[in-house]
């Protein structure tokens, strides 16, 4: 879709630059004139919201690193120092912590939008896979960031998550000690997590650039799932979508601001305001809310399957739940992209959404009684949806007739 | 050159392969220190042996001490607990081990174990759970009075550190 710009340099300076490094041409083609389907709804604004959140996290994060000390004796107090002493530190630290939650909320909306409108289907498989990679990097970054305040949840979260790697046969224990830099989570662990937590956002930014590149080759999917067929189907990105995205960002920042100013700790856990203690485990360990569905799946496997013990089984299921997203374009072979035209797909999709929310709820509950049974059922549906339901639906479903073009779906059939 | 089928390797082919091989060895030599620096360092390894005096621990009392940064339970078991642990048939155990294998001969009353649950590393709560041993609040694993896994997602018994009784009251761990 490149080369859609009618850009011609108007003055000698631009002309000179265009022959050497066509920066202006590039921005014209990809930021201003990029042909964008004219029927994109507000679910499509979350891409821009996510880009904005990445900027917010990087800017606030760099500032926090100016005041933070990654040492087991000082880390906890340095975060308190930021919140109490540093000018506006309370707001900046709050924005970073709440920002992580808002970032994940937006990424979930973005992913579920893609799942509903079939945005992962050809020719957008690479675009989708890069998105999954970003999601994985985000989880790693958020986890390591949560360790930095060195509270009880930080310490025990780090202990539990690094312990996950010890489930790997043969090399597990050595790998765990390698990751921790010791036999237990300690200063070496905190230091490397700080280093990597600073590095990974820039890796994410690089993958985001690839993600947008992969988007700009086939162009946007849209609510009808019908490909763009003529310039009648599109609008230029600027000003139509820059303004729409900006409006959505403003609306998105209202609850963000509410959390920062009125309830900066409501999404956290009180145990993390107790300094890390390697001798006492909090009675109820929970990760941050955005990791709960995957945590629920990890815990759901409390039984051995053949030679795979319960611990390794849980780890396989948890990583599998994310890795399965990478192969989704080849599991759902239905030619119709948008769920709007797939009557059988839709109920299963919405059950999947509710199921995911149920897993989120179950991840926060103690692992006992009815909760463990429900967690097993929900984990089963999560995998059945991808492995059985989507491939079968693709074969048996009769989709509703698709509009001939995007402009027809917007304006009705021509007279 | 492409049109002519070659039957023997030339001197140049040999030089390519040899250069490549030396390059791989060189890169591996440079990369290894960059990776190995993440393994436990000398100061961490230096903490690997401690001595602990158990004489102040009463029957039925446990203390948690620190060894290599890990918490270690030292429990002075009661007669009832020892009997209970000995009475369990091995067939009932997920990770079979006799009570004698879990303790040192002549010191059966002392149970010394790394205090991290073998599931994901939380510290189990003592004197609780349905087997009168330990219960891990994180994911619900239950251990008996010999620290053997009985129920829940943990795959193994609580790990025994290498230790020996230097005297009747002094234990060397590590």
ipTM value:
0.80
pLDDT digits (tens, 9 = 90+) for A162-215: 988 888 888 998 999 999 999 999 999 999 999 999 999 999 999 999 999 999
Answer whether B66 touches A (CB < 8 Å): yes
Residue B6: what pLDDT? Answer: 62
Q: Please give the share of chain A, as a percent, with pLDDT higher than 70.
A: 98
Assess whether A278 and A371 both reside in one domain.
no
Domain assignment present for residue A12? The answer is no
Query: CA nearest A155 in B: which residue?
Result: B122
Query: What would the 3-class secondary structure string for chain A be?
Result: CCCCCCCCCCCHHHHHHHHHCCHHHHHHHHHHCCEEECCCCHHHHHHHHHHHHHHHHHHHHHHHHCCCCCCCCCHHHHHHHHHHCCCCHHHHHHHHHHHHHHHHHHHHHHHHHHHHCCCCCCCCHHHHHHHHHHHHHHHHHHHHHHHCCCEHHHHHHHHHHHHHHHHCCCCHHHHHHHHHCCCCCCHHHHHHHHHHHHHHHHHHHHHHHHHHHHHHCCCCCCCCCCCCCCHHHEEEHHHHHHHHHHHHHHHHHHHHHHHHHHCCCCCCCHHHHCECCCCCCCCCCCCCHHHHHHHHHHHHCCCCECCECHHHHHHHHHHHHHHHHHCHHHHCCCCCCCHHHCCCHHHHHHHHHHHHHHHHHHHCCCCCCHHHHHHHHHHHHHHHHHHHHHHHHHHHCCCCCCCCCHHHHHHCCCC
Q: Please give the share of chain A, as a percent, with pLDDT higher than 90.
A: 82
Assess whether A200 and A297 both reside in one domain.
no
- Mean pLDDT, all residues of chain A: 93
| Residues from chain B contacting residue A177 (CB–CB below 8 Å) | 39-40
Q: Is the pLDDT of residue A6 over 90?
A: no
Q: What is the mean pLDDT of the segment spanning B49-73?
A: 89
Q: Is the pLDDT of residue A42 over 50?
A: yes
Domain assignment present for residue A6? The answer is no
Domain final residue, candidates A228, A252, A282: A282
In this structure, what CATH number is given to the domain that contains residue A169?
Answer: 1.20.810.10
Q: How confident is the model at residue B5 (pLDDT cuts 50, 70, 90)?
A: low
Assess whether A265 and A326 both reside in one domain.
no
| Residues from chain B contacting residue A162 (CB–CB below 8 Å) | 121
Answer whether A11 touches B (CB < 8 Å): no
Query: CA nearest B95 in A: which residue?
Result: A309
Q: Determine the residue among B39, B153, B158 to mutate to test chain A binding: the one whose Cβ has the most chain A Cβ atoms within 10 Å.
A: B153
Q: Is the pLDDT of residue B89 over 50?
A: yes
Domain assignment present for residue A189? The answer is yes
Domain assignment present for residue A99? The answer is yes
Q: What is the mean pLDDT of the segment spanning B163-170?
A: 89
Assess whether A251 and A293 both reside in one domain.
no
Domain assignment present for residue A201? The answer is yes
Domain assignment present for residue A31? The answer is no
Assess whether A295 and A261 both reside in one domain.
no
Q: How confident is the model at residue A2 (pLDDT cuts 50, 70, 90)?
A: very low
Indicate yes or no: CB of A181 within 8 angstroms of CB of B152.
Answer: no
Assess whether A274 and A292 both reside in one domain.
no
Indicate yes or no: CB of B40 within 8 angstroms of CB of A181.
Answer: yes
Q: Is the pLDDT of residue A3 over 60?
A: no
Assess whether A169 and A296 both reside in one domain.
no
pLDDT digits (tens, 9 = 90+) for B108-163: 889 999 999 988 888 998 888 888 899 988 878 899 999 999 888 888 899 999 99
Answer whether B174 touches A (CB < 8 Å): no
Domain final residue, candidates A255, A282, A309: A282
Assess whether A202 and A305 both reside in one domain.
no
Domain assignment present for residue A59? The answer is yes
Domain count, chain A: 2
Assess whether A263 and A298 both reside in one domain.
no
Residue A5: what pLDDT? Answer: 65
| Residues from chain A contacting residue B139 (CB–CB below 8 Å) | 299, 302, 367
Domain assignment present for residue A19? The answer is no
Indicate yes or no: CB of A184 within 8 angstroms of CB of B68.
Answer: yes
Indicate yes or no: CB of B155 within 8 angstroms of CB of A311.
Answer: yes
| Nearest CB partner across the interface for A184, out of B39, B69, B153 | B69
Residue A174: what pLDDT? Answer: 93
| Nearest CB partner across the interface for A156, out of B64, B69, B122 | B122
Assess whether A215 and A320 both reside in one domain.
no
Residue A280: what pLDDT? Answer: 86
| Nearest CB partner across the interface for B38, out of A178, A279, A372 | A178
Q: What is the mean pLDDT of the segment spanning B10-18?
A: 93
Domain final residue, candidates A282, A312, A344: A282
Range of the domain at A323: 286-397
Assess whether A45 and A171 both reside in one domain.
yes
**Lowest mean pLDDT, pick from A185-189, A238-242, B23-27, B162-166:** B162-166
Assess whether A149 and A185 both reside in one domain.
yes
- Mean pLDDT, all residues of chain B: 88
């Amino acid at each position: 879709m490149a080369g859609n710009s009618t850009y011609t340099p108007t003055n000698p300076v631009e002309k000179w630059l265009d022959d050497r490094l066509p920066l202006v041409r590039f921005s014209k083609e990809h930021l201003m004139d990029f042909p964008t389907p004219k029927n994109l709804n507000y679910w499509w604004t979350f891409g821009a919201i996510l880009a904005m959140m990445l900027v917010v996290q990087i800017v606030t994060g760099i500032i926090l690193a100016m005041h933070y000390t990654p040492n087991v004796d000082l880390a906890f107090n340095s975060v308190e120092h930021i919140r109490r002493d540093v000018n506006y530190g309370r707001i900046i630290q709050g924005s970073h912590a709440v920002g992580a939650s808002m970032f994940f909320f937006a990424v979930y909306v973005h992913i579920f939008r893609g799942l509903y409108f079939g945005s992962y289907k050809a020719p957008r498989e690479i675009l989708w896979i890069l998105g999954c990679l970003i999601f994985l990097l985000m989880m790693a970054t958020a986890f390591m960031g949560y360790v930095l305040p060195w509270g009880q949840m930080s310490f025990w979260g780090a202990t539990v998550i690094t312990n996950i790697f010890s489930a790997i046969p043969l090399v597990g224990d050595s790998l765990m000690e390698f990751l921790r830099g010791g036999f237990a989570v300690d200063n070496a662990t905190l230091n490397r997590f700080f280093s990597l937590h600073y590095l990974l956002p820039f890796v994410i930014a690089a993958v985001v650039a690839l993600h947008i590149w992969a988007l700009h080759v086939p162009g946007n999917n849209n609510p009808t799932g019908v490909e763009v067929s003529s310039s009648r189907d599109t609008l230029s990105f600027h000003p139509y979508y820059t303004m729409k995205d900006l409006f959505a960002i403003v609306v998105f920042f209202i609850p963000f601001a509410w959390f920062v100013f009125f309830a900066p700790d409501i999404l956290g856990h009180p145990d993390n305001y107790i300094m890390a203690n390697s001798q006492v485990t909090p009675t109820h360990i929970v990760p941050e809310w955005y990791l709960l569905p995957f945590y629920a799946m990890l815990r759901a496997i409390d039984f051995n399957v053949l030679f795979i013990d319960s611990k390794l089984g849980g780890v396989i299921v948890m990583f599998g739940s994310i890795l399965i997203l990478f192969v989704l374009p080849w599991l759902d072979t239905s030619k119709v992209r948008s769920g709007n035209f797939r009557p059988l797909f839709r109920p299963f999709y919405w059950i999947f959404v509710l199921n995911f929310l149920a897993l989120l709820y179950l991840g926060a509950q103690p692992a006992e009684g009815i909760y463990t049974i429900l967690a097993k059922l929900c984990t089963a549906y999560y995998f059945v949806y991808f492995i059985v339901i989507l491939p079968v639906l693709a074969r048996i479903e009769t989709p509703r007739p698709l509009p001939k073009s995007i402009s027809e779906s917007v304006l009705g059939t021509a007279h | 050159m492409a049109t002519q089928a070659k039957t023997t390797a030339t001197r140049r082919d040999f030089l390519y392969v040899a250069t490549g091989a030396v390059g791989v060895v060189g890169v591996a030599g440079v990369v290894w220190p960059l990776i190995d620096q993440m393994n436990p360092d000398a100061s961490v390894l230096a903490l690997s042996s401690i001595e602990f005096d158990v004489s102040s621990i009463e029957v039925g009392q446990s203390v948690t001490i620190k060894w290599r940064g890990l918490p270690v339970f030292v429990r002075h078991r009661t007669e009832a607990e020892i009997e209970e642990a000995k009475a369990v048939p091995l067939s009932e155990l997920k990770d079979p081990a006799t009570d004698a294998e879990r303790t040192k001969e002549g010191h059966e009353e002392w149970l010394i174990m790394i205090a991290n649950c073998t599931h994901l590393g939380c510290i189990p709560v003592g004197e609780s759970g349905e087997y009168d041993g330990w219960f891990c609040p994180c994911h619900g694993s239950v251990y008996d009075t010999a620290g053997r896994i009985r129920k829940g997602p943990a795959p193994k018994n609580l790990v025994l550190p290498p230790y020996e009784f230097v005297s009747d009251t002094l234990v060397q761990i590590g």
